[in-house]
Amino acid sequence: ETTLGAAAAQSGRYFGAAIAAGRLGDSTYVNILNREFNSVTAENEMKWDATEPSRGSFNYTNGDRIANHAIARGMKIRGHALLWHAQMPGWAQSLSGSTLRSAAINHVTQVATHYRGKIHSWDVVNEAFADGTSGGRRDSSLQRTGNDWIEAAFRAARAADPGAKLCYNDYNTDGINAKSTGIYNMVRDFKSRGVPIDCVGFQSHLTNSVPGDYQANLQRFADLGVDVQITELDISGSNQANVYATVTRACLNVARCTGITVWGIRDSDSWRTGQNPLLFDAAGNKKAAYTSVLNALNAA
């Protein structure tokens, strides 16, 4: 196959990109998007600050532009993200305790209901675990509403959109480490108690290498009975093309790794300014990393 999406589809997987509504008028960008990718994630447009700028008042204009572009072309949509301690709107940043809890759960219900039936997978909760060696939760106003806030969010999302796969998503979880093990223990607990969780997202913002146990880490989560997805892949450094191939092969080697999303299209679209971590250069040309990923997908 000659495109990323078609090559991934040979094994039933998707290949997606994070996109920005504000770039949908850029023909170079849109031509690459429509040619290469069969899944999209809104880079910012479905987040809390974007969708509920004031309490109880919802704005889906830009999220819907992305969703409509995808639906018109048969692309899957990854919803990102219902709850995250960052990019909370100002009004929610000033809440705490039971008031924040009910506002957060209402947010999950409203947004998941708006997009009901359109979302392949939702990042229900993003980045709730701490970096470092504790293996525990990150301190945040959401966490201080009670340790059960994550399961409350997943239950609300399931009730609102029973057809969407519900994911937990995080970074620095690329190998077997204290943070990924903390998440692993949460997923195992959720599965044992019937809390609805279907998938775990591994953001995979990488710098020139990937841990040797990356595939084993994906596999141990899959063995808990959830899908795994590579959700925000970008890789900087001189070994970029090789690392992209290694990550791609790791996903292909794990039966429950259902898809890969890169966090942007061209290097000039990336949040990692100056690091050129994506598959297309600023002019929209395919890079060596692109060929490396395409060949890995076609070899499967």
Give the whole-angstrom CA distance, residue 250 versus residue 256: 11
The one-letter code for the residue type at 54 is S
Nearest in space to 169 (alpha carbons), one of 143, 142, 135, 203: 203
Q: Shortest distance, CB of residue 81 to ligand G3I, whole angstroms?
A: 6
Task: Give me the residue label for tokens 């090789």.
Answer: 242
| Residue with the shortest CB distance to ligand G3I | 271
Q: Shortest distance, CB of residue 203 to ligand G3I, whole angstroms?
A: 5
Of 43, 52, 161, 174, which one interacts with ligand G3I (CB under 6 A)? 43
Nearest in space to 227 (alpha carbons), one of 202, 206, 210: 202
Would you tell me the crossing angle of helices 214-222 and 178-193 to the nearest 10 degrees?
A: 10
Report the Cα–Cα distance between both ends of the chain, in Å, rounded: 12
> Does 269 engage in binding with ligand G3I (CB under 6 A)?
no
> Does 271 engage in binding with ligand G3I (CB under 6 A)?
yes
Q: Is there a contact between 217 and 211 (Cβ–Cβ < 8 Å)?
A: yes
Q: Shortest distance, CB of residue 121 to ligand G3I, whole angstroms?
A: 15
Comparison of 188 and 272: residue with beta carbon closer to ligand G3I: 272
Q: Shortest distance, CB of residue 125 to ligand G3I, whole angstroms?
A: 12
Check whether the bond before 81 is cis (ω within 30° of 0): yes
> Does 267 engage in binding with ligand G3I (CB under 6 A)?
no
Comparison of 20 and 100: residue with beta carbon closer to ligand G3I: 20
* Residues of span 129-168 touching ligand G3I by CB under 6 A: none
> Does 44 engage in binding with ligand G3I (CB under 6 A)?
yes
* Per-residue CA distances from 277 to 65, 193, 262 (Å): 26, 40, 10
Comparison of 70 and 128: residue with beta carbon closer to ligand G3I: 128
Q: How many CA atoms does the CB half-sphere of 69 hold within 13 Å?
A: 25
Q: Is there a contact between 87 and 48 (Cβ–Cβ < 8 Å)?
A: yes
Site string for ligand G3I, 80-99 (x = CB under 6 A): ------xx------------
Q: Shortest distance, CB of residue 255 to ligand G3I, whole angstroms?
A: 26
> Does 227 engage in binding with ligand G3I (CB under 6 A)?
no
Comparison of 179 and 296: residue with beta carbon closer to ligand G3I: 179
> Does 203 engage in binding with ligand G3I (CB under 6 A)?
yes
* Per-residue CA distances from 194 to 151, 155, 161, 231 (Å): 10, 10, 17, 24
Q: Shortest distance, CB of residue 20 to ligand G3I, whole angstroms?
A: 7
Comparison of 58 and 271: residue with beta carbon closer to ligand G3I: 271
DSSP code of residue 211: -
Percentages (nearest 5) of helix, strand, coil residues in the chain: 40, 20, 40
Write out the catalytic residue numbers: 232
Number of chain residues interacting with ligand G3I (CB under 6 A): 9
Comparison of 53 and 56: residue with beta carbon closer to ligand G3I: 53
Binding residues (CB under 6 A) for ligand G3I: these are 43-44, 86-87, 126, 171, 203, 232, 271
